[in-house]
Amino acid sequence: MSSHPTRRTSAPPRRSWARRAVTAAVAAGAITGLVVTSPAATASPAAPASASAFNDTRAMDRPTTSAFAAPDISLANVKSHLNQLQTIASNNGGNRAHGRPGYRASIDYIKAKLDAAGYTTAIQQFTANGATGYNLTADWPGGDPQNVLMAGAHLDSVNAGPGINDNGSGSAAILETALAVSREGLKPQQHLRFAWWGAEELGILGSRHYVSKLPSTERSKIDAYLNFDMVGSPNPGYFVYDDDRRVEAVFKNWFAAKGISTEIETEGDGRSDHASFKNVGITVGGLFTGAGRTKTAAQAQKWGGTAGQAFDRCYHRACDTISNLNDTALDRNSDAIAHAIWTLGAPS
Ligand code: TRP
Ligand code: CA
Ligand code: ZN
């Protein structure tokens, strides 16, 4: 395994310390990160494309530390995207819902940022409830096309409000992570694909459409899909999806290292876009800070906030505005997302 992630030649080598650390650690045999293409898979052409480390139980037990630390995602930048989404809602009848002009404007905002950063973007149209819906995908050029790591968030709001926590938060967090990949000139081993889904609020329709249109050969290249739906709840909890223990561990380890306790996400399994992927056998994971469920006394003890109150009292309501966010939760989750992309996508 000679190839570890390197920087694009056009970008200055800002992390020579990290590279030296990798070299030293590898020489010392200290790092056994995720191996994307195992020697066995390379030797045997019959091995299926999906036989990557994500589906390799031996690899699952290896440490997941990446020697290339993810950058600190800027809360200010994430909030700047959220302010834009709030303005889009305010200028378009107060929402960014499927079939409404605020949704299309949201797609256009995200797409322009990604195009300017060097992503290959595509808008996929579909029809739902008699209206045109849109999914947006953004592929980062490079990486092994046989091993795709995806991260996604639904971009539509309900009709009732601007949908800033649900799910401007996940949408902005993965956008800023994608922009960080570009700024850092990351050359991950995995091929990275980010996605913004339409019509989630109508029953995960956009992501279901995407998966249904994916040829099985393309499906089998997706090693994991990471979902971020509501990551800035005003009275937050720190919930990690437990669908795949390797992906779950990457998130849990990040929070544990910061001294933040996590719980397994249980507020409605299958209630977001990861279900579209999980239903066809793709490995999934994700983060969540809570919706309409009430924070218990024990949870308020460890996480702060208000016991006896919903994690998000404005869930699916008009008051899910730019004020309906916990900045600390939004910042932590954004940083955890970047950590997962760097660790799973650009392993040492
Ligand atoms: N957008 C989701 C919904 O409206 C929010 C949600 C509820 C959620 N429960 C969840 C997201 C559990 C992830 C996991 O249903
Ligand atoms: Ca940060
Ligand atoms: Zn919702």
3-state class (DSSP) for residue 144: strand
Out of 4-18, 136-150, 227-241, 313-327, pick the least confident: 4-18
Helix axes 327-345, 170-184, angle to 10 degrees: 50
| Token pair for 320 | 């899910």
pLDDT for residue 194: 99
Residues 6+ apart with CB under 8 A from 182: 117, 118, 119, 140
**139, 286, 149: which is closest to 222 by C-alpha?**
149
Q: Give residue-wise pLDDT tens across range 61-74.
A: 344 444 579 999 99
- Nearest ligand (C-alpha, residue 334): 2
Band (pLDDT 50/70/90 cuts) for residue 5 is: very low
Band (pLDDT 50/70/90 cuts) for residue 48 is: very low
- Nearest ligand (C-alpha, residue 70): 2
Residue located via tokens 């190839």? 3
CA 303 distance to own-chain centroid: 22
pLDDT for residue 42: 32
- Number of Cβ within 10 Å of residue 208's Cβ equals 21
Out of 15-29, 170-184, 322-336, pick the least confident: 15-29
Q: What is the mean pLDDT of the chain?
A: 85
As a whole number of Å, the CA-based R_g of the chain is 19
Band (pLDDT 50/70/90 cuts) for residue 26 is: very low
Ligand 2 (ion): residues with CB under 5 Å are 72-73, 331, 335
pLDDT for residue 28: 29
Q: Give residue-wise pLDDT tens across range 262-282.
A: 999 999 778 999 999 999 999
- Number of Cβ within 10 Å of residue 306's Cβ equals 13
pLDDT more than 90, % of the chain: 78
Complete DSSP assignment for 65-114: --SSPPPPPPHHHHHHHHHHHHHHHHHTTT--BTTSHHHHHHHHHHHHHH
Domain residue limits, the chain:
66-344
Pocket test for ligand 1, best of 167, 229, 274, 317 (most atoms within 8 A of CB): 229
| Token pair for 163 | 């949908």
Q: Give residue-wise pLDDT tens across range 145-199.
A: 999 999 999 999 999 999 999 999 999 999 999 999 999 999 999 999 999 999 9
Residue located via tokens 């045997």? 44
Residues 6+ apart with CB under 8 A from 269: 275
Distance CA 307, CA 313 (A): 12
Q: How far does residue 57's CA lie from ligand 2's centre (Å)? A: 32
Band (pLDDT 50/70/90 cuts) for residue 13 is: very low
Band (pLDDT 50/70/90 cuts) for residue 347 is: low
Q: Give residue-wise pLDDT tens across range 198-226.
A: 999 999 999 999 999 999 999 999 999 99
Predicted confidence (pLDDT) at residue 328 exceeds the cutoff of 60: yes
> 6: part of which helix (H) or strand (E)?
strand 6-7
Pocket test for ligand 1, best of 169, 288, 294 (most atoms within 8 A of CB): 288
pLDDT for residue 346: 76
Query: Amino acid identity of 260?
Result: I
* Strand-strand pairing, 263-264 and 190-197: unpaired
pLDDT for residue 97: 99
Predicted confidence (pLDDT) at residue 314 exceeds the cutoff of 60: yes
pLDDT for residue 40: 31
Query: In this structure, which CATH number among 3.40.50.2300, 3.90.245.10, 3.40.630.10, 2.30.130.10 belongs to the domain 66-344?
Result: 3.40.630.10
Task: Return the higher-pLDDT residue of 27 and 253.
Answer: 253
Q: How far does residue 164's CA lie from ligand 1's centre (Å)? A: 14
Predicted confidence (pLDDT) at residue 1 exceeds the cutoff of 60: no
Phi, psi of 254 (to 5 degrees): -65, -50
Query: Amino acid identity of 94?
Result: G
What is the CB < 6 Å shell around ligand 1? 166, 200, 229-230, 265, 267-268, 271-272, 288, 291
* Strand-strand pairing, 222-228 and 144-154: parallel
pLDDT for residue 68: 72
- The answer to whether residues 96 and 157 touch, using CB atoms and an 8 Å cutoff, is yes
pLDDT for residue 23: 30
Q: Which residues are catalytic?
A: 200
3-state DSSP: the chain helix, strand, coil percent, rounded to 5? 40, 20, 45
Peptide bond into 167 cis (omega under 30): yes
Atom of ligand 1 nearest to the CA of 158: 4
CA dist 9 → 4, 6, 15, 170, 292 (Å): 15, 9, 13, 31, 47
Out of 15-24, 129-138, 166-175, 258-267, pick the least confident: 15-24
